[in-house]
Amino acid sequence: MIRQSFSLITARRDLYQAQLLFYLFIASLTMFFLATLATYVIIRTQAFQPITRDYTALRIPASFWLSTGLLLVVGYLLERAAWHVRREMQPGFRSALRLAFWAGLLFTVVQAVGLCGLLVQHFAEIDGSTKAYGMSFTISFVHALHVLGGVVFLGWVWYQAERGRYDHERHWAVNHCAGYWHFLDIVWVAMLVTFLLTR
């Protein structure tokens, strides 16, 4: 009985430490992306105000809208996975993780197409608009790298789920994975809105 009590205390402490590290990680990423978007807005609105001629508006690749849908699907599926594991519904839990993983991989493919489109426009414009395409490419690429990291994290969670490591009591990694993808959703939507408002 005493040994079980100490084990429970240790598990609780590990959970709180993991949650603290996760929140600090998300807070640092939030500050990074906010600073990046603020810099983009300042440069786009101040440096692109010519006196004699207009610059070409930023054309957002059509594939970005598809990748937005895929990103939201991943967040939804991970929320479903967390819902299933809390109720000890293991088949539905693993199925949601599997679908989320493949949707995340598909996002990276679709996003790569959009990034290539931005690069093509970057080198095609000769009126100075290349700066806008170059900056939007860089920001989108950095976000895509974080998504790739999220896919790796999701793959690890899925692998552990297939080994039966999660149940209704121990599933904090699933919650953190879902939280990270929700964060990526919010950042991506904020980026698209920023691109649209400062075209």
Q: In a 3-state reduction of DSSP, which class is residue 38? A: helix
Domain-located, residue 178: yes
pLDDT tens for 125-179 read 666 556 677 788 889 999 999 999 999 999 999 999 999 889 888 888 999 999 9
The b-or-e profile of 129-166 (16+ CB within 10 A means b, else e) is bbebbbbbbebbeebbebbeebbebbeebbeebeeeeb
Q: Is the pLDDT of residue 38 over 50?
A: yes
Does residue 153 or residue 5 have the better pLDDT?
153
Domain-located, residue 114: yes
pLDDT band at 55 (very low <50, low <70, confident <90, very high): low
Domain-located, residue 171: yes
pLDDT tens for 81-92 read 999 999 989 999
Task: Please check whether residue 66 is in contact with residue 180, taking contact to mean a CB–CB distance below 8 angstroms.
Answer: no
What was the pLDDT predicted at 78?
96
Domain-located, residue 173: yes
Q: Is the pLDDT of residue 199 over 80?
A: no
Q: Give me the domain span that covers residue 83.
A: 2-48+63-197
* pTM, to two decimals: 0.85
Domain-located, residue 67: yes
Domain-located, residue 54: no
Domain-located, residue 56: no
Q: Is the pLDDT of residue 80 over 70?
A: yes
What was the pLDDT predicted at 5?
44
What was the pLDDT predicted at 24?
93
- Mean pLDDT on 94-106: 96
Q: Is the pLDDT of residue 2 over 80?
A: no
| Spatial distance between the Cα atoms of 166 and 172, rounded to a whole number of angstroms | 9
What is the chain's mean pLDDT, rounded? 85
Q: Residue 111 corresponds to which tokens in the numbers above?
A: 């996003």
What is residue 169's DSSP assignment? S
What was the pLDDT predicted at 39?
87
Q: Is the pLDDT of residue 52 over 60?
A: no
Q: How many domains does the chain have?
A: 1
What was the pLDDT predicted at 15?
67
Domain-located, residue 53: no
| Spatial distance between the Cα atoms of 138 and 158, rounded to a whole number of angstroms | 30
Q: Residue 199 corresponds to which tokens in the numbers above?
A: 């075209």
Dihedral sign from CA coordinates of 117, 119, 121, 123: negative
CATH of the domain at 116: 1.20.120.80
Residue type, 187: V
